[in-house]
Structure 1
Amino acid sequence: MRFRTAAAAMAASAVVAGSFIIVSPANADPEVTRADVEKAFDRAEAANEALNQLTVDAEDLDARIEEVSAEIAKIRKVYTVQRDELGADIVQQHMEQPLGPTVGLLGSKDPDLFIEGLSAIDALNTTRADALESFTRTRVELQKRRAQLAEHEDELAAKVAKAKKTEAQLTESYRKAKADFARLSAPQQSAMNEGGDVKPVSNSGSGAAKAAIAFAMSQLGDPYVYGGTGPDGWDCSGLMMKAYAAAGVSIPRVVGPQIAAGRKISAGELQPGDLVAYPSMAHIGMYLGGGKVIHAPRPGKSVEITSLSSGFGVYARVS
């Protein structure tokens, strides 16, 4: 599933040479501060992360629907064969002995033949009973899988509907952030558009952390894009996911689960490669050491190196 067309277009329209266009504030609008604008972008990023999670959930449901549909197709083939064989057996019996196999034995005066015949009938009925029992099990399993499929399809429809609402919230939050930005003075706008450091720093990590840092730093200067997972545009969690994927380590797609998948640590335990997030779980970056963090900040800016003190307060180490 993909819910990104509008969000990607929205983000792309905001980027001009890596930054927002500086515009003159409207005098009639209420005064806003840089902090107001940052909060507006934080709200938009929180909506983006919610949309990321819904996208992951929808893709998981898509996969489950495909899996259950394949299982239904296999069970349906077995069901059809068993049904046809059982039906053909019953029809054949009635064609050969319309009144049933027992009637043919009633006139027999040979006790041994009568007993042998009853034994054969008993074996036939046992075989048919086993076939009927097997057919019943298949039918019940088929009904169960169909119910599963219907449940997954209903859940997927609910996720899609919620994703559309969340994308609308993201669009509105982003519109508000841009409007607030436009009400700042030209010097304030310039100050906000000034990026952090985009120069690579010495990679003091080791193992997977070293490889993840190397990947993240190779993206310095790439633009922020809502829902971006590369190769030329990123959101914060998309960059972290792909950085660790490049190191051979799988972590979830979304900020909250990314932190939850690691081992929580304190600020004093931080090492290069550790994940650092806002307490709101709306934003995430990677610690580089020396109080520095690499992250994808927001629309209008690019992947950059910033200070750990710029809002990060939750820390986790990827195992």
Structure 2
Amino acid sequence: MRHPRTRLRTLVVAVLAIAITGAVAPAAHAAPSTSDLNKKIQKASDELEDVVESYNKMKISLNKTKADEKKLAASIGPAREALKVAGSQMELLAQSAYKTGKVGAVNVVLEGSNNLMDRMSILEQLSRSRQRDIDTYTATTQNYTERQAALKVTQDKQAAEVKELGDRKKKIQADLKKLYAMRTAAYGRATETGSRYTGNVPSVSGSAGVVVRFAFAQVGKMYEFGADGLSTYDCSGLTSRAWSQAGKSLPHNAAAQYSATKRISRSQLEPGDLVFYRSLGHVALYVGDGKIIDASRAGEPVKHRTIDIMTPYGYGRVT
């Protein structure tokens, strides 16, 4: 039989052990709900689309810079040849002045005239001719120098844009990995599967009809950042491609498309008009009956759905 003190000591140790174990045991964390994951996916998708549209805007800038460089490079050759011609003319003037002195060659011409007015006229013509040669040389030299400087600036700008474009692309790719991981956690897969539209396509006449029919044919194709078809799209890539079917050129960027279209109200919406969202972070094509077609976000297909996916920012008409 144990001594009472021994039993008391054993009991105290046991109570302390339970207390200590309870104090250091990690608290159980509930797994995030599907609703919470959906909100995170929505937020991450919106942030990603903002980066994608800034990427598209940078591509537009880079393409313009490349066009400017090509134009300047093409103009360098003619400017260089004009400079050679002007330079040769200046050499001839210099040689003439050296060989004949300042007035020697002029005297030969003036000796054939006894009329003072004729002599003054001849001198003025010679002076004008030489001044034109000098002015041409000066202007041609300046033109060539300016074009060379402009070309260098444009080439430097292009190099900076190429680097920034590469950096943005890396960020998009990193963000995509995170987004797909969240989608897998929420739905068991990283991407949805798209299916073609099989319903009735509204009858729309004119250019808008061409655009709307094309848009319905793209439903079910997957989102891809920077893409403008024909197998994948991002939001502004879809709207620009759709309108290109009707011979209208739209820049591949939601904000730029907003600037390129005429402002209209919701009550004025017609099939083929553009609907803008999230402070120009997203754009969709209105197809009538309160519905849009849009390339929504990474991991999802082009969809036909309600215009009220979120509060529209504004509306635009291609003119």
TM-score normalized by the length of structure 1: 0.78
> Does the 8 A contact of 1:105 with 1:117 survive in 2?
no
Decide whether aligned partners of structure 1 residues 181 and 117 sit closer, same or farther in structure 2, where only a CA change above 3 A counts: same
Could you tell me which of 134, 150, 158 is aligned with 1:156? 158
> Does the 8 A contact of 1:273 with 1:287 survive in 2?
yes
- Count of residues in Structure 1 that have an aligned counterpart in Structure 2: 287
Instruction: Map residues 16-165 of structure 1 onto 2, 5 A cutoff.
Output: 32-95=36-99, 97=100, 99-102=101-104, 112=114, 123-165=125-167
> Does the 8 A contact of 1:274 with 1:286 survive in 2?
yes
Give the letter aligned to residue 258 of structure 1: Q
> Does the 8 A contact of 1:69 with 1:149 survive in 2?
yes
Query: What does residue 17 of structure 1 align with?
Result: none
Decide whether aligned partners of structure 1 residues 134 and 55 sit closer, same or farther in structure 2, where only a CA change above 3 A counts: same
> Does the 8 A contact of 1:196 with 1:305 survive in 2?
no
Q: Deviations over 1:49-95 (max 9, x none)?
A: 11111011000011011112222221111111110122033224434
2 CA distance for matches of 1:110 and 1:133?
30
TM-score normalized by the length of structure 2: 0.78
Decide whether aligned partners of structure 1 residues 103 and 65 sit closer, same or farther in structure 2, where only a CA change above 3 A counts: closer
Query: What does residue 232 of structure 1 align with?
Result: 231
Secondary structure of 1:249's match?
coil
Decide whether aligned partners of structure 1 residues 60 and 157 sit closer, same or farther in structure 2, where only a CA change above 3 A counts: same
Quote the offset at 1:202 in angstroms. 2.5
2 CA distance for matches of 1:160 and 1:246?
30
Query: What does residue 316 of structure 2 align with?
Result: 316
Query: What does residue 16 of structure 1 align with?
Result: none
The structure carrying a bigger helix percent of its residues is 2
Secondary structure of 1:276's match?
strand
1:167 and 2:165 matched: no
> Does the 8 A contact of 1:277 with 1:312 survive in 2?
no
Decide whether aligned partners of structure 1 residues 115 and 101 sit closer, same or farther in structure 2, where only a CA change above 3 A counts: farther
Decide whether aligned partners of structure 1 residues 172 and 124 sit closer, same or farther in structure 2, where only a CA change above 3 A counts: same
Query: What does residue 8 of structure 1 align with?
Result: none
Give the letter aligned to residue 39 of structure 2: A
2 CA distance for matches of 1:104 and 1:272?
79
1 CA distance for matches of 2:66 and 2:106?
58
Query: What does residue 263 of structure 1 align with?
Result: 262
Quote the offset at 1:286 in angstroms. 0.8
Give the letter aligned to residue 157 of structure 1: A
2 CA distance for matches of 1:103 and 1:244?
70
When structure 1 is superposed on structure 2, of 121-130 and 163-172 the one drifting more is 121-130
Decide whether aligned partners of structure 1 residues 28 and 171 sit closer, same or farther in structure 2, where only a CA change above 3 A counts: farther
Decide whether aligned partners of structure 1 residues 105 and 283 sit closer, same or farther in structure 2, where only a CA change above 3 A counts: closer
Decide whether aligned partners of structure 1 residues 103 and 42 sit closer, same or farther in structure 2, where only a CA change above 3 A counts: closer
Give the structure, 1 or 2, with the largest relative contact order (CA under 8 Å, sep 6 or more): 1
1:246 and 2:245 matched: yes
Q: Deviations over 1:121-162 (max 9, x none)?
A: 664444222201111111112222222222222322232232
2 CA distance for matches of 1:116 and 1:317?
70
Instruction: Map residues 199-218 of structure 1 onto 2, 5 A cutoff.
Output: 199-218=198-217
2 CA distance for matches of 1:164 and 1:153?
17
2 CA distance for matches of 1:115 and 1:35?
94
Identity in percent:
26
Query: What does residue 9 of structure 1 align with?
Result: none
1 CA distance for matches of 2:267 and 2:122?
82
> Does the 8 A contact of 1:204 with 1:289 survive in 2?
no
> Does the 8 A contact of 1:293 with 1:306 survive in 2?
yes
When structure 1 is superposed on structure 2, of 116-125 and 260-269 the one drifting more is 116-125
2 CA distance for matches of 1:185 and 1:233?
22
Q: Deviations over 1:264-301 (max 9, x none)?
A: 23333322111112223222211111222111222333
Secondary structure of 2:305's match?
strand
Give the letter aligned to residue 156 of structure 2: D
Decide whether aligned partners of structure 1 residues 129 and 201 sit closer, same or farther in structure 2, where only a CA change above 3 A counts: same
Secondary structure of 1:280's match?
helix
Quote the offset at 1:103 in angstroms. 9.3
Quote the offset at 1:118 in angstroms. 8.1
Quote the offset at 1:117 in angstroms. 7.8
Quote the offset at 1:256 in angstroms. 1.0
Instruction: Map residues 6-25 of structure 1 onto 2, 5 A cutoff.
Output: none
Quote the offset at 1:184 in angstroms. 1.6
Rg larger for: 2
